[in-house]
A and B are shown apart, each in its own frame.
Chain A
Amino acid sequence: MNDSVYDGLSEEHADDARWAYGTGFHDELSGVDRDIPSGVDGADLGLYCQMLGDDALVLAQRLAEWCSRAPELEEDVALANIGLDLLGQARLLLTRAGEVDGTGRSEDDFAYLRPADQFRNLLLVELDCGPGPGGDFAVTMARLLVFSSFRLSLLYRLQSTVDPVIAAVAAKGVKELAYHRDHAAQWVLRLGDGTAESHRRMQAAVDRIWPYLDELYAPHPVVARLIEVDAAVDPADVRAEVEDTLHRVLRAATLSIPSPHRESGELSGRDGRHTPELAEVLGTMQELARSLPGAVW
Chain B
Amino acid sequence: MSEQEARFLATVQAEQRIEPRDWMPDGYRATLIRQIAQHAHSEIIGMQPEGEWIAKAPSLRRKAILLAKVQDEAGHGLYLYAATETLGVDRAELTEKLISGRQKYSSIFNYPTLSYADVGVIGWLVDGAAICNQVPLCRTSYGPYARAMVRVCKEESFHQRQGYELLMTMMRGTQAQRDMVQDAVNRWWWPSLMMFGPPDSASSNTEQSMVWRIKRHTNDELRQKYVDMSVPQAKALGVTFPDPELRWNDERGQHDFGQPDWDDFWRVVKGGGPCNEQRIAHRKAAHEDGAWVREAAQAYAEKRNRQAGAA
Does A244 sit within 8 A of B, measured CB to CB? Answer: no
- Check if A77 sits within 8 Å of B78, measured CB to CB: yes
Residues in B neighbouring A91, C-beta threshold 8 A:
60-61, 64
- Check if B78 sits within 8 Å of A197, measured CB to CB: no
For the complex, give the distance between the alpha carbons of A24 and B65 in Å.
Answer: 9
- Which one of A41-49, A186-194, A230-238 contacts B? A186-194
Does B55 sit within 8 A of A, measured CB to CB? Answer: yes
Does B71 sit within 8 A of A, measured CB to CB? Answer: yes
Does B47 sit within 8 A of A, measured CB to CB? Answer: yes
Knowing A83-B67, A198-B296, A297-B59, the reply to whether A5 touches B173 (Cβ < 8 A) is: no
Residues in A neighbouring B170, C-beta threshold 8 A:
295-297
Residues in B neighbouring A9, C-beta threshold 8 A:
131, 135, 153-154, 157
Determine how close the nearest CB of chain B comes to the CB of A250; give it in whole angstroms. 15
Interface size on B (CB < 8 Å)? Answer: 67
Does B89 sit within 8 A of A, measured CB to CB? Answer: no
Interface size on A (CB < 8 Å)? Answer: 63
Which of A136, A194, A198, A289 is the one whose CB lies under 8 Å from B59? A289
Determine how close the nearest CB of chain B comes to the CB of A253; give it in whole angstroms. 10
- Check if B55 sits within 8 Å of A190, measured CB to CB: no
Residues in A neighbouring B221, C-beta threshold 8 A:
1
- Check if B292 sits within 8 Å of A201, measured CB to CB: yes
Does B191 sit within 8 A of A, measured CB to CB? Answer: no
Chain A 261-295: CB-based contact to B (< 8 A → 1; otherwise 0) = 00000000000000000000000110111001011
Residues in A neighbouring B126, C-beta threshold 8 A:
none
- Check if A194 sits within 8 Å of B290, measured CB to CB: no
Residues in A neighbouring B75, C-beta threshold 8 A:
77
Knowing A5-B135, A9-B154, the reply to whether A292 touches B64 (Cβ < 8 A) is: no
19 A-B contact pairs sorted by A residue (CB < 8 Å): A5-B225, A5-B229, A12-B157, A19-B68, A64-B54, A64-B67, A68-B51, A69-B289, A73-B44, A73-B74, A80-B71, A87-B64, A108-B59, A194-B296, A284-B55, A285-B55, A287-B56, A295-B176, A297-B61
13 additional contacts, CB 8 Å, given A190-B297, A194-B300?
A5-B132, A6-B131, A12-B154, A19-B158, A67-B51, A68-B48, A69-B282, A73-B77, A74-B78, A80-B68, A80-B70, A84-B64, A284-B55
Which 7 pairs, one residue from A and one from B, show the smallest C-beta to C-beta distance? A71-B290, A194-B296, A198-B296, A80-B71, A71-B293, A23-B64, A296-B173
User: Contact residues of B with A, CB < 8 Å?
Assistant: 44, 47-48, 51, 54-65, 67-68, 70-71, 74-75, 77-78, 81, 116, 131-132, 135-136, 138, 153-154, 157-158, 162, 166, 169-170, 172-174, 176-177, 217, 221-222, 225, 229, 282-283, 285-286, 289-301, 303
User: Contact residues of A with B, CB < 8 Å?
Assistant: 1, 3, 5-9, 12, 18-19, 22-24, 57, 61, 64-65, 67-77, 80-81, 83-84, 87-88, 90-91, 94, 107-108, 111-112, 131, 136-137, 189-191, 193-195, 197-198, 201, 284-285, 287-289, 292, 294-297
